[in-house]
C-alpha cells in the first residue's frame, strides 16, 4: 500500500506499530538510555508492557498507545503488580495529560519531560 497522502497514512494498517516504534525511540533518547537498559516485558498469560527500565534501584514502565483516550488494561494492572513499578506512563498521540490510577499517568508524546526515573 503506497502512502502518498495524509489520508493514506491514517488508514494504513501499520500506522499504530510505526508510531509506537517512533515514540519508543524518542523516549529512549529523552531518558538518555542505552539499548541494553530498555526491556519489553511479557508473560505467557498475555500481559505485556512496551518498555521497562531501571533507575535508582526501581523499575519504571512505559506503555505506548496509538489511541484517542487510553484506559487501564489488564496488562497494565498486571505489570504494576508483578513488577512493582514506581510509575507507569502511557504515552499517546493526543494533547491532554491525565491520571488513570495511582502511579499511572497518560501523557502526550509531546510532553516527554513528564517521564523521569
What pLDDT does residue 88 have? 97
pLDDT over 60 at 63, yes or no: yes
In this predicted model, what pLDDT tens digit does every residue of 83-114 receive, in sequence order? 999 999 999 999 999 999 999 999 999 998 87
In this predicted model, what pLDDT tens digit does every residue of 5-58 receive, in sequence order? 546 445 545 666 788 888 999 999 999 999 899 999 998 887 899 999 999 899
What pLDDT does residue 18 have? 80
DSSP the chain: ----SHHHHHH-TTHHHHHHHHHHHHHHHHHT--GGG-EEEE-TTS-EEEEEEEETTEEEEEEE--SSS----HHHHHHHHHHT-SEEEEEESSS--EEEETTEEEEEGGGGGG---
What pLDDT does residue 8 have? 47
What is this structure's pTM?
0.86
CATH code reported for the domain at 6-114:
3.40.1350
Amino acid at each position: 500500500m503506497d502512502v502518498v497522502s495524509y489520508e493514506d497514512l491514517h488508514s494504513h494498517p501499520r500506522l499504530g506499530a510505526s508510531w509506537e516504534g517512533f515514540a519508543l525511540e524518542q523516549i529512549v533518547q529523552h531518558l538518555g538510555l542505552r539499548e541494553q537498559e530498555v526491556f519489553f516485558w511479557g508473560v505467557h498469560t498475555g500481559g505485556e508492557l512496551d518498555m521497562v527500565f531501571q533507575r535508582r534501584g526501581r523499575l519504571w514502565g512505559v506503555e505506548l498507545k496509538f489511541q484517542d483516550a487510553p484506559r487501564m488494561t489488564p496488562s497494565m494492572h498486571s505489570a504494576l503488580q508483578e513488577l512493582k513499578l514506581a510509575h507507569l506512563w502511557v504515552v499517546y498521540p493526543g494533547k491532554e495529560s491525565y491520571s488513570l490510577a495511582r502511579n499511572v499517568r497518560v501523557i502526550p508524546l509531546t510532553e516527554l519531560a513528564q517521564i523521569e526515573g
